[in-house]
Structure 1
């Protein structure tokens, strides 16, 4: 995917930014981690916070997944040479020690790894905050501490259910770190988001218990975004269990995603509803099935796009992102590079969407 101009693209990125651009060594099918780590490293708000965290770590800090991640990012950031490759051995060893799911050399899911890493980071930061309070519990009814990881990635959904008998609307809020979107053949990211928030009918055996009516009633429900995160992660659900076949399979569907995005499935009073998002990274699954394959990432560093394939780094043209949309044909296509995780950073601009 690097193309003939890969060296030129990499030189351009090095000239236009102060970023160090490093590949990550693969320790036996750890591409799922490498691709996500690159996306997080080039997520500017996250990198700034974790480097700040790394600078404040005491020398005798107890090792955990977050400290290993901070040390890895600090190592890349402090390299005197602008480009090369590093070995995230300490981080990978800690990951395998903490979670048996990642101990084997089998193909792993990048989305599962991302969820685990962000949730662990939040838990570890919350534990640190608790230790600072001397282990004292929070007062009853107090919300859990909000960490800088929450500030960057967490948004809020509201589940609205309208009883069709009494018209009472019940609202239930929940937080999210990423949104998982169902996909169809030859669709767009905006249509996936619309379907995510489409009104669903609750009837027959799936009626809603209305507290106002005190019985089961037909109802309509929908899910809307009430609070927009600073960095929005969208997960395209390319792996699906097929009951007829009795196994998981990969959906090769073509899903077009834009370089700029404005969310339309927000509540009227949503925080950040008018924000524009810019595509910052794409984690790509390469392969024809869910249990084998490879992960790479396409990442924007300032005004230049880069292609990361474990230790290898190349510059690419922005137009090459389209090659990860998928195939217009479900079968018989040689294209197995498909966008899987999309990282968008909120820019605050109010320009029209590029579709």
Structure 2
């Protein structure tokens, strides 16, 4: 029986022998555990639900100071925390950072990226005392450490709070997943570009960077004006769509420029009606498709989340889609 259920039964056991008219204040205090003393440090697990006076997990730093996270893992049955053979290691949900866990798992399963991060050298490695416990300092070190635990730990799950705190994401507020992906990949790209090993410099581009162009065609003279660009993810609108192909098709659909939104043509030297579209020239090895689930609600003036179900195939064929110039095989991540 679960510990919480056992506590509930013990707290209400007196009802079996006490008549309703004989109920006293002491019975109420027992039932609702009002006078139960606070749990001792290290005696219970995080998010203790059996004692309303437990300070663990509700701002305990203010009362208990710095806490050794290992004390929360000292449970009666260590084997219950051990992962089964041939299963993956999970990540603790810290609240409002589930998108970080998602990206970490996705990047961990990218074997080339994982091997590359393992090869990164810490500029302060000579300062590290091998006799002391290892404490990551830089963002890259935190990621190395997390990946090593996800790969080799015997535990069912590990705590990513070190990386989350280093990134400044431990405020409890939900962040934008797309923006996090862009900024974090940019940070990794900058870190790898400074490594002594030249083979590490372009790994992020090789893995995640694709090529496309914004092409504007004048309706009057037919002049095409391409604007080349790189991309690390494709942000797809899901509103009004049921499957991934519809989302990608809308992303690539032609946009008409007319009326007040006419295009200034360099050949005609005047504003003309035109058509603008996106041409994908090449896909990266890992194609990151971001489903835009947050949209602006004009009535409330705030963002709202779309819970639309979007189906997607196990294999995505981009060949038949319009304006696609060069088809390459790649791994697709849908987030």
| TM-score normalized with structure 1 length | 0.61
Q: Is the 8 A contact 1:160 1:222 kept in 2?
A: yes
Match of 1:107 in 2: 174
Quote the Cα distance in structure 2 between the aligned partners of 1:88 and 1:160. Answer: 43
Quote the Cα distance in structure 1 between the aligned partners of 2:311 and 2:247. Answer: 10
SS at match of 1:35: helix
SS at match of 1:222: strand
Say yes or no: does 1:89 pair with 2:144.
no
- Call closer, same or farther: CA 1:191–1:24 in 2, change over 3 Å: same
Quote the Cα distance in structure 2 between the aligned partners of 1:274 and 1:124. Answer: 28
Match of 1:72 in 2: 146
Q: Is the 8 A contact 1:158 1:174 kept in 2?
A: yes
Question: How many pairs are equivalent?
Answer: 245
Say yes or no: does 1:24 pair with 2:79.
no
Q: Is the 8 A contact 1:185 1:254 kept in 2?
A: no
Quote the Cα distance in structure 2 between the aligned partners of 1:88 and 1:247. Answer: 30
Quote the Cα distance in structure 1 between the aligned partners of 2:123 and 2:314. Answer: 36
Query: Structure 2 stretches of 5 or more lacking a match?
Result: 1-82, 129-135
- Call closer, same or farther: CA 1:263–1:54 in 2, change over 3 Å: farther
Quote the Cα distance in structure 2 between the aligned partners of 1:152 and 1:221. Answer: 28
Quote the Cα distance in structure 2 between the aligned partners of 1:57 and 1:172. Answer: 42
Match of 1:212 in 2: 267
Q: Is the 8 A contact 1:185 1:255 kept in 2?
A: no
- Call closer, same or farther: CA 1:42–1:54 in 2, change over 3 Å: farther
Quote the Cα distance in structure 1 between the aligned partners of 2:201 and 2:250. Answer: 30
Match of 1:231 in 2: 286
Match of 2:244 in 1: 189
**More strand by proportion, 1 or 2?**
1
Query: How far 1:120 sits from its partner (Å)?
Result: 1.1
**More helix by proportion, 1 or 2?**
2
Quote the Cα distance in structure 1 between the aligned partners of 2:253 and 2:302. Answer: 28
Quote the Cα distance in structure 2 between the aligned partners of 1:64 and 1:86. Answer: 19
Query: How far 1:28 sits from its partner (Å)?
Result: 4.3
Q: Is the 8 A contact 1:198 1:223 kept in 2?
A: yes
Say yes or no: does 1:170 pair with 2:225.
yes
SS at match of 1:255: coil
Aligned CA-pair RMSD = 3.0
Q: Which of 1 and 2 has greater Rg?
A: 2
Quote the Cα distance in structure 1 between the aligned partners of 2:123 and 2:204. Answer: 16
Query: How far 1:60 sits from its partner (Å)?
Result: 4.4
Query: How far 1:27 sits from its partner (Å)?
Result: 3.6
| TM-score normalized with structure 2 length | 0.65
Post-superposition Cα deviations, 1:48-96, rounded to whole Å, max 9, x if no partner, equal: 32233369994449932222212221233243x3x52222232122111
- Following TM superposition, the consecutive aligned residue runs of length 4 or more in structure 1 with deviations greater than 6 angstroms are 54-57
By relative contact order (CA 8 Å, sep 6+), the higher-ranking structure is 1
SS at match of 1:258: coil
Say yes or no: does 1:153 pair with 2:220.
no
Q: Is the 8 A contact 1:54 1:71 kept in 2?
A: no
Query: How far 1:238 sits from its partner (Å)?
Result: 1.1
Match of 2:253 in 1: 198
- Call closer, same or farther: CA 1:27–1:236 in 2, change over 3 Å: closer
SS at match of 1:166: coil
State which of 111, 115, 119 in structure 1 corresponds to 2:186.
119
- Call closer, same or farther: CA 1:28–1:252 in 2, change over 3 Å: closer
Post-superposition Cα deviations, 1:242-284, rounded to whole Å, max 9, x if no partner, equal: 21332211122232111110214475642xx142x455x55xx
Query: Structure 1 stretches of 5 or more lacking a match?
Result: 1-9, 97-101, 134-144, 283-340, 342-355
Query: How far 1:197 sits from its partner (Å)?
Result: 0.7
Quote the Cα distance in structure 1 between the aligned partners of 2:266 and 2:166. Answer: 48
Quote the Cα distance in structure 2 between the aligned partners of 1:266 and 1:74. Answer: 42
Query: How far 1:211 sits from its partner (Å)?
Result: 1.4
